[in-house]
Amino acid sequence: MVFTAVVVFLGGSLWTIAHSFTSSRLLPKWKFVGFDQYERLWSTRRWMISIENLALFGVFSLVFTLVIGFTLAALLDRKIRFENTFRTILLYPFALSFIVTGLTWQWILNPDFGLQAVVRGWGFENFAFDPLNNPDLVMFGLLIAGLWQGTGLIMVILLAGMRGIDEDIWKAARVDGIGTVKTYIRVIIPMMRPVFVTALVLIAAGIIKLYDLVVAQTSGGPGIASEVPAKYVMDYMFGAQNLGQGFAASTMMLVSVVVILIPWAYLEFGGKKRG
């Protein structure tokens, strides 16, 4: 276990970082060029656009996944009828891979056959909804697909958290005359902190590694309007046969994860005593 952790994770990362300072092309070579790869990376428009896209997708995805997931979970938590059926339906998209999700939404959002054509067929001739061919809106086209796929899981996790809350809390709230919504926001959410942490980690990981959805749904287009960092890494490592450049980009991704995660993980887990 220790061996795996050290060699595979730490060793692999260090090897990658070290090679990002070389001029490796198709095969890794020890020929140092200093920060050349990074200079090139940060002066490449495609990389800058990738970063912006990821930030945009990340913020919206984080907020909407949590809000929608929590709302759905709360609705299911109200002991509605056919809860099982709803839960299954809402969780179902998660069973599909990002590739299938991406292709499906590519078809749904296709202006000639999909949603736009259907609505126009109903008589709304001027209805226009074509995000995938509009550089300004394409990230929202991806966001829709991402939310559709991922919200179900977060809903189930939050629902499990809600079920873990003692019935007595609800009884106490009712006795005090606190409304349902207020109880959720003021009492239940703070009590569900560990569950939210799990949900956050899952969502954040999904955002950083956003790749297959983009490949399947837009392949980075139109133009380079929906490129993401992970795709830059893949394209430059293998397509462009430039390992050094790909490694530099993946090192930047690692750095950004570390910068965000380590202080947060320290605050979350490190400060408290076990027990």
**Of 65 and 226, CB closest to other proteins:** 226
Give me the residue label for tokens 């005593």: 273
- Compare residues 149 and 242 and give the one whose CB is closer to other proteins: 242
How far, in whole angstroms, is CA 82 from its chain's centroid?
A: 30
In eight-state DSSP terms, residue 32 is B
Closest to other proteins by CB, 149 or 226:
226
For other proteins, which is the closer residue by CB, 121 or 222?
222
- Nearest partner of 151 among 54, 66, 63, 55, judged by Cα: 66
In this structure, what DSSP letter does residue 133 have?
A: G
Peptide bond into 222 cis (omega under 30): yes
Q: Which residues bind other proteins (CB under 8 A)?
A: 25-27, 40, 44-46, 111, 133, 135, 219-225, 234-236, 238-242, 245
Nearer to other proteins, 236 or 247 (CB): 236
CA distance 214 to 53: 11
> Least separation, in Å, of the C-beta of 47 and other proteins?
10
Question: Minimum CB separation from other proteins for residue 235, in Å?
Answer: 6
**Torsion (CA) 140, 144, 149, 155 in degrees, nearest 10:** 110
Beta bridge partners of 84: none
Which residue type, as a one-letter code, is found at position 207?
I
- Tell me how far apart the alpha carbons of residues 171 and 218 are, in angstroms, rounded to a whole number: 50
Nearest approach, Cβ of 130 to other proteins (angstroms)? 9
CB of residue 108 vs other proteins: minimum separation in angstroms? Answer: 16
Query: How far apart are CB 223 and other proteins at their closest, in Å?
Result: 3
